[in-house]
Structure 1
Amino acid sequence: MRKMAMNREEIVAAAIQRLNRVPTSSMAELAEAVGVSRATLHRHFSTREELLTELANRSLDSWEQAIEAAGVAAATASGDAEQIRRTLEDLLSRHLVYAEEHGFALSEHVMVVDPHLERRIDELEEREIELFAAGQRAGVIRADLPARWVSSVVYGLLVAARQSILRGDVARRDLPRIVIETLYRGIS
């Protein structure tokens, strides 16, 4: 197989696709899947950890963009039940795209062993927890559950949604409705 010349952005995009399918891919397997030699991949990323850290940062950038685009800060500050509901549903829909595009990051160990990444995760999660707490105060979300638990449930729903898509258990077009209904109503 002839290896083609790729720039860093193309390598990153192809590596994300491969890691979303096979999260345990080695650098050799990533190079093969990307279509570059191992030497080329190593010129861009000296180690697998370096590559994963780059991908994790991009993943967190996407998460932050979803929070901003959904208007989390404004909805949280408003206290308005309808605005919070719309924002929450918009955020969940954006997170489903994020989970599909950066699904490997939902369970990648580098996310919790790198102190910089861990701080970013905590900061982003805190912004969402504030929205969930505002939703509880406004009667959108059950108030008898800790807001941090709600955050964990949302995370679990994203992991479940990603796995369901990978296995073909759920149609992509049905995911927003399924995730939102599961969050609001549970499974009973």
Structure 2
Amino acid sequence: MRDEELLDAVARVLASDHSASMLQIASGVGTSRATLSRRYATREALIKAVAARSIEVVDGCLAPAGLHPDSADAASFDAALEELVVALLPAAHLYEFTSRDATVLADPAFRAGIERQDRRALAFLALGQRLGRLRVDLPPYWIWYSLWGLLDAAAEGVRDGHLARREIGRLVLTSFLTGARPPGP
């Protein structure tokens, strides 16, 4: 198993049980504790690696948010927003764990990565507001947090067996866009 696959699987286990031991994590990802310990000597090292993976994945997902404000129009913003939401879906399990783990949240490198990502996302959402594609009566932070809340709910719904993985893209996108769009005529 590649490191990326392993860390994604570990994040899924930890999202279900934040206090899982190395043995429980190894069992949950289908490997032995010895194999897991050879790659990550301690649970703390493993958790830091999951946090770093989270930052890396979300950085990649934010590529559509790189629209240039001077050349963006409503259509390009809409396409970039949809691409961003769909790209973030596979990262929901990483967010679900890292957003709740005190060790991760206390890590200055992780916090710096989150703050950098927030600035980028907020600038993108503010652009959508200026273009009239997102509601101006909602703060960009609320729109950004709302999106992550929907992603978190989708990941939990899939994990609990209440939602099909193939359905969550449509559900998240529809819920997000309906709530974030300005009221129609």
The verdict on a shared fold, with TM-score over 0.5 as the criterion, is yes
- 1:14: Cα distance to partner? 4.7
Is contact 2:92-2:152 (8 Å) kept? yes
Aligned equivalent of 1:134:
127
Q: Tell me the distance in 2 between the aligned counterparts of 1:171 and 1:11.
A: 22
Q: Tell me the distance in 2 between the aligned counterparts of 1:157 and 1:9.
A: 24
Q: TM-score, normalised by structure 2?
A: 0.82
Partner SS for 2:67? helix
Tell whether 2:117 aligns with 1:124. Answer: yes
Tell whether 2:41 aligns with 1:58. Answer: no
Q: Structure 1: any 5+ residue segments left out of the alignment?
A: 1-5
- 1:100: Cα distance to partner? 4.3
- 1:48: Cα distance to partner? 1.3
Tell whether 2:13 aligns with 1:22. Answer: no
Aligned equivalent of 1:89:
82
Instruction: Name whichever of 169-178 and 127-136 sits farther off.
Output: 169-178
Question: Percent of aligned positions with the same letter in both sequences?
Answer: 30
Partner SS for 1:141? coil
- 1:20: Cα distance to partner? 4.2
- 1:107: Cα distance to partner? 2.9
Q: Deviations over 1:25-75 (max 9, x none)?
A: 11232234443244x53343232111100011011111111112xx21125
Is contact 1:106-1:159 (8 Å) kept? no
Q: Deviations over 1:74-132 (max 9, x none)?
A: 25553311111111111101111211466433433333110010000110121111111
Q: Tell me the distance in 1 between the aligned counterparts of 2:166 and 2:4.
A: 29
Q: TM-score, normalised by structure 1?
A: 0.81
Q: Tell me the distance in 2 between the aligned counterparts of 1:138 and 1:10.
A: 38
Tell whether 2:159 aligns with 1:163. Answer: no
Aligned equivalent of 1:3:
none
Tell whether 2:104 aligns with 1:111. Answer: yes
Compared CA separation, residues 186 and 10, structure 1 to 2 (3 A):
closer
Compared CA separation, residues 133 and 168, structure 1 to 2 (3 A):
same
Tell whether 2:16 aligns with 1:31. Answer: no
Q: Tell me the distance in 2 between the aligned counterparts of 1:77 and 1:23.
A: 44
Q: Structure 2: any 5+ residue segments left out of the alignment?
A: 181-185
Partner SS for 1:154? helix
